[in-house]
Amino acid sequence: METFDSTNKNVNKNFVNDHAGLWAILTCVFFATTVLFAVLYFTKSSSYREVVQKEQETTQNNQDLVRQLDSLKAEHARIKAEAGDLADSLSQKDSVIMAQIAEIEGLMARQADYNSIKRKLERVQKISKEYVHQMDSLINIQHELEQKNERLNTELTETKAAKTAVEQENQQLSEKMNEAAQLTANNIRAFCVYKKSKNNPEVETKKARDAERIKTTLTLAKNTLVPAGTYNIYCRISCPGDGHVLSLGKSDAYSFMNGDQRLQYTCKSSVNYVNKAETVTMYWDISAQDQKKFKEMRGTFIVQVFSDNGLLGESRFTLE
């Protein structure tokens, strides 16, 4: 039994000794394979990271190009809108910019080379800056012209207003001068008189039965602005009751013009006015045949006095 065990041990020992080299080779192969796989894994992982990083950079670059292009388009649209009709003066440069933008958008859609797109974008950005600068200059010039024009319009309006005010003042002054250059009358008085005796040729009366004449007196005021010359003074007496005017006749020979109206007068006097106060007296004689009628005209008489230029004033008297 012991001999068998001893024999078996010897056999196993010989087997191990015989295969020791193989195990060493297998171990080396396994180690080398493990190292190879590790190298391949880290190499592939590094390449993958590089690809991912490159894709990220490309995406970021594309986004940056899009942002810059959008910013350029927005600024270009803004300045054109602000310029309005002024944009027509730079239409050629505007066409160049829009063509360049369209070309860049086409390159970006085709995912062309980033650096090539970047260079084109930089060129069009430069052109756009020149465009914006020129357009801003034109807009500023236009604003300055508009402000200057507004100031001129304001000054013109103020000048017109001042001129109108002066004209109105001159008109008012002229009207006042014209009014001041008219004859005026003071102390207009009308009453009836009759002849009593040689020593007392006129006696004032308020009794219709005694009245023989209607006497009207007034004083033309002194006025150095009135041209000296002969002026007609008209007396117009309206009777009580029906208000008819005492007159020598109804024809134009016994009338005068007051503005655009023709009026009958009772009596008149021509006065040589020399810019000094002048007393004027006018009479209306009651004829014998009118005495009876006149006695019946009891009441208030209205006496108006006119010059060639208009009404001077009026007076009233009453007969009993």
Residue 100 lies in a domain: yes
Torsion of CA 73, 78, 79, 84, to 10 degrees: 120
Residue 145 lies in a domain: no
- The tokens for 309 are 């230029």
Among residues 127, 142, 177, which one ends one of the domains?
127
Residue 177 lies in a domain: no
**pLDDT at residue 192, rounded to an integer:** 94
194 with 104, same domain?
no
* Parallel, antiparallel or unpaired: strands 213-220 and 278-285: antiparallel
Question: Which DSSP string do the residues of 246-267 spell out, in sequence order?
Answer: P-S-SSGGGEEEETTEEEE-SE
**pLDDT at residue 190, rounded to an integer:** 97
**pLDDT at residue 290, rounded to an integer:** 76
3-state SS class at 184: coil
CA separation for the pair 224, 216 (Å, rounded): 25
**pLDDT at residue 311, rounded to an integer:** 96
221 with 109, same domain?
no
CB 303 within 8 A of CB 235: yes
* Start-end of H helices in 84-113: 91-109
**pLDDT at residue 166, rounded to an integer:** 86
CB 193 within 8 A of CB 263: no
118 with 193, same domain?
no
- Taking the CA atoms of 164, 166, 170 and 175 in sequence, report the sign of the dihedral they define: positive
180 contact partners, CB below 8 Å, separation of at least 6: 223, 225
**pLDDT at residue 39, rounded to an integer:** 60
Backbone φ and ψ for 148, nearest 5 degrees, come out as -65, -40
Residue 49 lies in a domain: yes
**pLDDT at residue 301, rounded to an integer:** 95
Q: Token match 């004209």: residue?
A: 167
246 with 315, same domain?
yes
Mean pLDDT for back-to-back runs of 10 residues, the chain (320 residues): 52 54 70 67 63 69 80 79 73 79 82 80 82 78 84 87 85 72 93 86 90 95 93 96 90 94 96 95 88 81 95 95
148 contact partners, CB below 8 Å, separation of at least 6: none
Backbone φ and ψ for 111, nearest 5 degrees, come out as 55, 50
- Side-chain-facing half-sphere of 159: CA atoms under 13 Å: 6
230 with 299, same domain?
yes
Residue 309 lies in a domain: yes
**pLDDT at residue 46, rounded to an integer:** 60
Domain count, the chain: 2
Q: In which domain, by residue range, is 27 found?
A: 2-127
190 with 76, same domain?
no
pTM for the structure as a whole: 0.51
